[in-house]
């Protein structure tokens, strides 16, 4: 993983096509390393979350090329790499498990949950909280070392939802629990084993969210 981090650090300093073309071999080496971790991680996560069985590397990894068509930032390449192990693949809209590596900003984390869900999925999760808030709260607290990510949350309860013991969770627009790690965590050996071990306690949270998503998708 040292080579992956070194490449991404260099890319952040030289984010333009001419440099990337010269260093394409380094990119491919980094991409292959991430793919190897992804294969191992998929297998290990599927052992405690059977929804993840059968996923391929391409289902769980991302292109390095940015979509700059509607962005003021015209730098062509992402300066991070990630692996998202999610039932149905990264575009399915389901909850899953994510590893993020972004050395330029010293940002490394693991997270689980449902990112940027549709309004129908948000409603489904809020209804679950309304009916079984203790289970939702318990699933978060059972994930030792993780905390709820409140980024982007509403500042007040959404219209039509009443205050209750767990109603603060209604303010969330994504349902993510996150654990920040450091560079040493990423570069130490057996990364996939360590990530899977740390993500395992988050499986009940993901399963709860995916049941909410199932209700929405079954109606479509």
Domains within the chain, CATH numbers bracketed:
2-219 (3.30.930)
pLDDT digits (tens, 9 = 90+) for 88-142: 999 999 999 999 999 999 999 999 999 999 999 999 999 999 999 999 999 999 9
**How far is residue 99's CA from residue 83's CA, in Å, rounded to a whole number?**
5
With beta carbons less than 8 A apart as the criterion, state whether 31 and 185 touch.
no
The candidate with the shortest Cα–Cα distance to 82, out of 47, 35, 46, is 35
Q: Give the global pTM.
A: 0.95
pLDDT digits (tens, 9 = 90+) for 147-194: 999 999 999 999 999 999 999 999 999 999 999 999 999 999 899 999
Which is it for the CA torsion 8, 9, 14, 15, positive or negative? positive
Cα 170 from chain centroid (whole Å): 20
Cα 7 from chain centroid (whole Å): 22
**How far is residue 207's CA from residue 20's CA, in Å, rounded to a whole number?**
40
Percent of the chain topping pLDDT 90: 94
């Amino acid at each position: 993983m040292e080579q992956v981090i070194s490449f991404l650090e260099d890319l952040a300093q030289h984010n333009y096509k001419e440099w990337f073309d010269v260093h394409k071999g380094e990119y491919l080496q980094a991409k292959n390393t991430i793919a190897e971790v992804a294969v191992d991680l998929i297998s290990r996560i599927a052992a405690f979350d059977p929804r993840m069985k059968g996923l391929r590397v391409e289902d769980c990894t991302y292109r390095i090329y940015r979509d700059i068509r509607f962005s003021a930032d015209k730098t062509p390449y992402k300066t991070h790499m990630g692996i998202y192990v999610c039932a149905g693949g990264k575009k399915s809209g389901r909850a899953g498990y994510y590893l993020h590596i972004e050395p330029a900003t010293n940002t490394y984390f693991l997270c689980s949950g449902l990112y940027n869900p549709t309004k129908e999925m948000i409603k489904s999760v809020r209804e679950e909280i309304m009916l079984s808030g203790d289970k939702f709260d318990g699933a978060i607290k059972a994930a030792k070392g993780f905390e709820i990510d409140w980024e982007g949350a509403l500042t007040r309860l959404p219209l039509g939802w009443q205050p209750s013991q767990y109603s603060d969770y209604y303010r969330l627009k994504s349902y993510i629990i996150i654990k920040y790690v450091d560079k040493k965590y990423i570069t130490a050996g057996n990364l996939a084993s360590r990530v899977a071990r740390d993500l395992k306690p988050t499986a009940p949270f993901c399963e709860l969210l995916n049941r909410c998503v199932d209700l929405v998708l079954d109606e479509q």
